Amino acid sequence: MGRIVPEAPAPGALKIAAGAGLLTPRISACFPLGATMADERNQDPQMDAAGLYREEMFTDRKVGAIRQLTPVTADGASDTTRPVVFVGQAEIMTNMGPVPLSFEIDGKTLADAVAGFSAAATVAIERTVQQIQEMRRQAASQLVVPQGGMPNLGPGGPGGRGGGKIQIP
């Protein structure tokens, strides 16, 4: 098992590349529902003491990794009032190179997260492949504008008279 790659003959089909392994895990920020990175940049970069998590990383070194985010209080003690969050990480190989995937996994324990990894990864892969196909479609439908200026203006631009010093009557 290894990296998941789309097959060339069947668009959207995926397969595991033999001998491929997991790249360095990526660390991503957890934003509240509806918040964006632009929202975060426009504010002071201060930590939220009520939203702290301790992060642990688990990997099989073949298919992916699971980040376990355990809620903690400001003094570092476990916060049992909030649920533990599991985030899966994997990557798919495209003709443009590896594309990292990050997806939430439902579960209350690490064993639940390991069991749910495959289903959550499949959904994330399908969503990513659809997004890539949509981006390709949008790129293919863009208008092409010539680089050399507007065509058919004749010598010297509109009106046929140039701005140079030599003029032919």
**Domain ranges for the chain:** 4-43+50-139
Q: If DSSP codes are grouped into helix, strand and coil, which group holds residue 55? A: strand
Output b/e per residue, 24-38; b: 16+ Cβ within 10 A.
eeeeeeeeeeeeeee
pLDDT of 144 over the 80 cut: no
Question: Higher pLDDT residue, 142 or 65?
Answer: 65
Q: How far is CA 168 from CA 152, 157, 162, in A?
A: 20, 15, 10
DSSP percent split of the chain into helix, strand, coil, nearest 5: 25, 25, 55
pLDDT tens digit sequence for 56-101? 999 999 999 999 999 999 999 999 999 999 999 999 888 889 999 9
**Distance from C-alpha of 132 to C-alpha of 12, rounded to nearest angstrom:** 10
Reported pTM? 0.59
Closest alpha carbon to 64 in 116, 6, 121? 121
Mean pLDDT, the chain, integer: 76
pLDDT of residue 6: 43
